[in-house]
Every structure is written in structure tokens, then in C-alpha cells.
Structure 1
């Protein structure tokens, strides 16, 4: 029997995000990937909300745009074919939530992956963009070389965030094999 509530870091992230995001909010999907998180966010913000999605890969943007058109949700989304380290170049308003799902695009080139330097920059900018009580989730996948380095460097940086600025929570599976993903949640104060 498959676990229902604690089986995937991405499911935990969605549960946390759903507690915060309301209809008509503005939110960010910092790593569009296959478009699953963006569809989830579109449902949360409703027809008058806005989802801003970033990805460096053309194929991720194209596939996500098709999914959004098929679901009649394209009007509530702005897709940006650029790195998430450029959040503030495109977003000039406060947001209630930001989702990161790091690593590589499943089923595609595993050499194209998020990198810790740009991810840390994106997290810094994202914290500035979050409204008070807003939430950021970061799913980290240390099962490949770049992912392990990203985990190490991100955890170093995240441990330096002043507790007056926000709460930083690390959730990880301690009984799973093969470098399981972990989830970081940041709630802005």
C-alpha cells in the first residue's frame, strides 16, 4: 500500500502552499519543469489570480503552455523562459507563495540542472518578494552530483537567515535509501 500523506517532498510542499495561498493571489513557480506545480498553483489562485513561472528550458515552457491551454488556465499564467535568479527582473509585486522543485527536468537531459549559485540568488530575491506570512518551498534532490552540491550549499545559506526574517524548516526522510529528497519551507515574518 502506497503511503498517502508523507510519500513525496512535492506533496508535502503542496500541502504547505495550500494552507497559505488564497483565490486572487500572485504566486511564483520558480522551476516550471513539467508543469504540474503550475497547474496546482493555478487551481489555488483561481481565475483572477496570477502564477508566474520560470524555466531555462524551452521544452519545459512549451509543454507547460500546452497543458495550460488544454486546461483553459493560460490567462492566469505568465511563463518566463529565464533562470529563477532573475525573479526581481520580472516580478515587482509581493507574492504569497513561491515553489522550487530543484534538479533536472524528468525524462530530459540530466546535464541541465539547477545550480546552487543561481538557486541561492533566487531564494534571496524570493524572500524579499514574499509578503508577510508568505511561504516558500524548496524540494531538493541530492541523488545526483549537482543536486548534492546544491543541497550542501543551500543548507549552509539557509542556516544564516535571521530568525527575525523568517522561519526555516527542513523536512527529510530519514528511513529512505538512495539519497531521498528533502523539503525546505520558509515562512516570512
Structure 2
């Protein structure tokens, strides 16, 4: 078994998500990448749950499918070759327990293909509607690259404007890490 680093941003937000998801829950991996979050959500939701996983790259779907085939007792997973900006076409409002976003580009993929502010904000708007009361969105903002800083700034501006009576936005940072470290955010629907 691979040892995890508790100081990695993915392990930080997973420690929060573990408290949110119960067997039988519907979860969304908005940016499936290589499938690690899809697998994680599927393990938590279990065979009675369901995971919808989105990516616009066939390579992401292929890699995720291969990863899932190595494991048992997972929630059924729908791998969707579609933008996260279309997630509301696949789930009903108030039915989703957790949505995970990792912004940026596919690790070991084509760095010219990345998430962008416009589609990410649309996806966040839809995700907030899809969440159950008490549900959460985990958002890991990786900046840099051609559009990363623009996306970071646009998403942070959007989050700051959310109604504080409906949503709690918890933003954290790696304060002493160089080179634009990822920004982890958890959004709770109250």
C-alpha cells in the first residue's frame, strides 16, 4: 500500500471529505484527471452509492477506468467525457453530498488543456444547486500556466461573493511554500 503524505493538499481535503460522505451517497468528481479522487469518492460511497466523474480528455477517462478496475467494493461510477460545466444535466438539485474539483491541467497530460475561469464558475454555480444541505464542495486551486492565475483570481472573487447565510467558504493556504502552491477551499451548503 502506498504511503500518503498528510501534508499534501489532496490528503488535507480528503480528511475533511471523509467526515462528509456516507455509504449510499451521490458524489461528483468534477475534474477526474487520473482518477484518484474518483476512486476515493467511490470507496466512501460504497456499492450502494454513485459517483459521476467528468473530464474533457479521453486520456483521463482511460486512466480512471484502469485505476477503478484494480479495486473492488466501489460505488458504481459513471465516467463522463464532458465538461464539469454540464454537471446539472446528470444530477438533480439537492441530491449530491460532495463535489471535488482540482483545477489546472491533467498531471502528465497536455498542459495546454486546462480548466478555465468561465467554465469553472458555471460548474460551481451548478454544483451549489446540486448539493444537499450539509453537503460540501472541495476545491483545489492550482495556479500558474497560461490561464491559472486568471482562473484563481476569478474563482476567488466568485467565492467571496457567495451568500454567507447559505454557504460557508473556508479558504486555507500553504503560507510558507514557494512557487504558487495550491489553494485548498471547502464550501459547505448550510
The TM-score with structure 2 as length reference comes to 0.94
Distance in 1, Cα, partners of 2:103 & 2:66: 22
Bigger shift: residues 140-149 or 113-122:
140-149
Which has a greater percent of helix?
1
Whether the 8 Å contact between 1:65 and 1:74 is mirrored in structure 2 is no
The alpha carbon displacement at 1:70 in A equals 2.4
1:79 aligned residue: 79
The size of the alignment, in residue pairs, is 187
1:163 aligned residue: 164
RMSD: 1.7
The alpha carbon displacement at 1:143 in A equals 2.7
Whether the 8 Å contact between 2:51 and 2:75 is mirrored in structure 1 is no
1:69 aligned residue: 69
Deviating 4+ runs (over 6 angstroms): none
Check if 1:141 corresponds to 2:121.
no
The TM-score with structure 1 as length reference comes to 0.94
Distance in 2, Cα, partners of 1:165 & 1:12: 24
Whether the 8 Å contact between 2:43 and 2:75 is mirrored in structure 1 is no
1:33 aligned residue: 33
The alpha carbon displacement at 1:145 in A equals 3.1
1:110 aligned residue: 111
**Which 5+ residue runs of structure 2 have no aligned equivalent?**
none
Whether the 8 Å contact between 2:5 and 2:11 is mirrored in structure 1 is no
**Which 5+ residue runs of structure 1 have no aligned equivalent?**
none
Whether the 8 Å contact between 1:143 and 1:180 is mirrored in structure 2 is no
Check if 1:60 corresponds to 2:64.
no
Change (3 A) 1:166 1:111: same
Distance in 1, Cα, partners of 2:104 & 2:164: 27
